[in-house]
Amino acid sequence: GQNIDQPTEMTATEGAIVQINCTYQTSGFNGLFWYQQHAGEAPTFLSYNVLDGLEEKGRFSSFLSRSKGYSYLLLKELQMKDSASYLCAVRDKRNFNKFYFGSGTKLNVKP
């Protein structure tokens, strides 16, 4: 089976740094993805990790530890527009185009 856990909601202040954690237990693993989803919109791709370590992309970074079944998304210099849900998704090892999504973390950025 697949189990992906994320915190339901987080609040942070504009200009600050926030870390959104994701833990997973899957029968097979072929990469972990982070998506951003603004209310009422489709998810958009943020980052992809398949090997252990940190991937940096501007203000956003994502970290993966496969042995611990753990990832985090780090957002720096928070902006109001970063208020959104952040979805963690694991790609299945055998069904390469199948993704399992967490329920998402709703991030509220306040002034």
Binding-site ranges for other proteins (CB under 8 A): 31, 33, 35, 41-45, 48, 87, 89, 91, 95-104
Contact 31, 50 (CB under 8 A): yes
Torsion over CA: 67, 34, 14, 79 (sign): positive
Residue 79 vs 95, nearer CB to other proteins: 95
Q: Report the alpha-carbon distance of residue 109 to residue 111 in Å, rounded.
A: 7
C-alpha Rg value of the chain to the nearest Å:
13
Q: Which residues are CB-neighbours of 81 under 8 A, at least 6 positions away?
A: none
Least Å from the CB of residue 71 to other proteins: 15
Least Å from the CB of residue 62 to other proteins: 12
Residue 105 vs 109, nearer CB to other proteins: 105
Least Å from the CB of residue 96 to other proteins: 6
Residue 15 vs 28, nearer CB to other proteins: 28
